[in-house]
Amino acid sequence: MSTLLMWAVVMGAFFSGELWPVVALVGVLAALGSIEFSRLTAGVPGKDCRWWALAVSLLYLAAVGWRIATGHEGGGMVHDEFFLEVAGLVVVVLGAFTLRLRHAISGPESVLPIALALLAFVYVPVLFGGFTMRLAVLPVDLGTERSGIWLLLLVVIVTKFTDMGAYLVGSLIGKHKAIPHISPAKSWEGYGGSILFALGGALGIYFLGRQHFDWMGSMGHVVALGIVIAVAAMVGDLAESILKRSLRVKDSGRLLPGIGGVLDLIDSVCFSAPVVLLYLVFFVI
């Protein structure tokens, strides 16, 4: 039920005809994911640095969301719009080092809270929140007014098709374990299914909203993005598995029955959204 409800909310935001519901949805998920990450790492020393990173993360998400929703961003996907990311990193580092001045130095582990604070800021707020919101404001002069929304829809659908392909194909014919020390259930056959499902999802979205992708110049870019998103989504899923295994937890949370936590929902998008933006910057725009 929670999965169906979540999809209903996502589709409602995408097809509302407005930008702000998409920005709000991404912002809320990113904020909840940031809080969840902070709770997951509660057992790691450095409570002050953890709270500092969370505070900066929430302020960053609010700032990016406000700038995008009010039209202050969207003239381009690079350039000075990423000042907030740089500023956030600087503030996190300066604050974390300052907070560590209160503690005695006890070896290499003394810098762990600082490193964790940086990860807390980058992993969900920037990789998921910032990059995903920016994909939704693709410059209008490159496509239609809805091109950014359709691009983001492509990322979400292909990412989830990747997950479905891995599960279905892996369950049916998966025999060769891929990375058993991180995720024992994943198989090479499942990963092959991920690529096929991702390509199917990418082409499906392309043909449904073809006019919104004409700015890419070629369907070949959509096919390439399908593969790129699939690989990035697989790595994103494994990245969260590394975190959960390191912290000895099964699910990142219990907010979404049947799914787990917010991080379990967005882990793959944390990697696929930034990779898509990088692909577009280097090969399309």
3-state secondary structure of 179: coil
* Per-residue model confidence (pLDDT) at position 252: 74
Residue 229 near residue 275 (C-beta atoms within 8 A): yes
Q: How many domains does the chain have?
A: 1
* Per-residue model confidence (pLDDT) at position 19: 86
* Per-residue model confidence (pLDDT) at position 109: 85
* Per-residue model confidence (pLDDT) at position 260: 74
Amino acid, single-letter form, for residue 230: A
pLDDT digits (tens, 9 = 90+) for 70-105: 876 654 444 456 889 999 999 999 999 999 999 888
* Per-residue model confidence (pLDDT) at position 6: 75
* Per-residue model confidence (pLDDT) at position 77: 45
For the chain, counts of helices (H) and of strands (E): 11, 0
Distance CA 101, CA 86 (A): 23
Report the percentage of the chain scoring pLDDT > 70.
Answer: 91
* Per-residue model confidence (pLDDT) at position 248: 83
Strands (E), 12-149: none
Distance CA 275, CA 225 (A): 9
Going by the DSSP 8-state scheme, the letter that residue 136 receives in this structure is: T
Distance CA 278, CA 219 (A): 18
Q: Is 1's pLDDT higher than 80?
A: no
Strands (E), the chain: none
* Per-residue model confidence (pLDDT) at position 166: 94
What are all long-range contacts of 96-101, with beta carbons under 8 Å and residues at least 24 apart? 96/49, 96/52, 96/53, 99/48, 99/49, 99/52, 100/46, 100/49
| Matching residue, tokens 């979205």 | 205
Higher pLDDT, 178 or 249: 178
Amino acid, single-letter form, for residue 122: V
What domain range is 40 assigned to?
A: 2-283
Distance CA 261, CA 192 (A): 27
* Per-residue model confidence (pLDDT) at position 126: 97
* Per-residue model confidence (pLDDT) at position 257: 62
* Per-residue model confidence (pLDDT) at position 7: 78
Distance CA 222, CA 151 (A): 10
Angle, CA 113 vertex, CA 181 and CA 179 arms, to 5° = 10
Distance CA 260, CA 245 (A): 15
- On average, the pLDDT of the chain sits at 89
In which band, very low, low, confident or very high, does the pLDDT at 118 lie, cut at 50, 70 and 90? very high
pLDDT digits (tens, 9 = 90+) for 136-181: 887 555 667 788 899 999 999 999 999 999 999 999 998 899 998 9
| Matching residue, tokens 């000042």 | 83
Residue 53 near residue 92 (C-beta atoms within 8 A): yes
> By C-alpha distance, which of 58, 86, 77, 124 is closest to 266?
124
Higher pLDDT, 261 or 253: 261
Distance CA 111, CA 268 (A): 28
* Per-residue model confidence (pLDDT) at position 140: 53
Higher pLDDT, 57 or 8: 57
Distance CA 212, CA 283 (A): 18
Burial 92-128 (b: 16+ CB within 10 A, else e): beebbeebbeeeeeeeeeeeebbebbbebbbbbbbbb
* Per-residue model confidence (pLDDT) at position 91: 98
Distance CA 247, CA 205 (A): 37
Angle between helices 219-247 and 20-40 (to 10 degrees): 30
pLDDT digits (tens, 9 = 90+) for 20-79: 899 999 999 999 999 999 999 988 888 999 999 999 999 999 999 998 888 766 544 444
> What phi and psi values does residue 45 have, to the nearest 5 degrees?
-55, 150
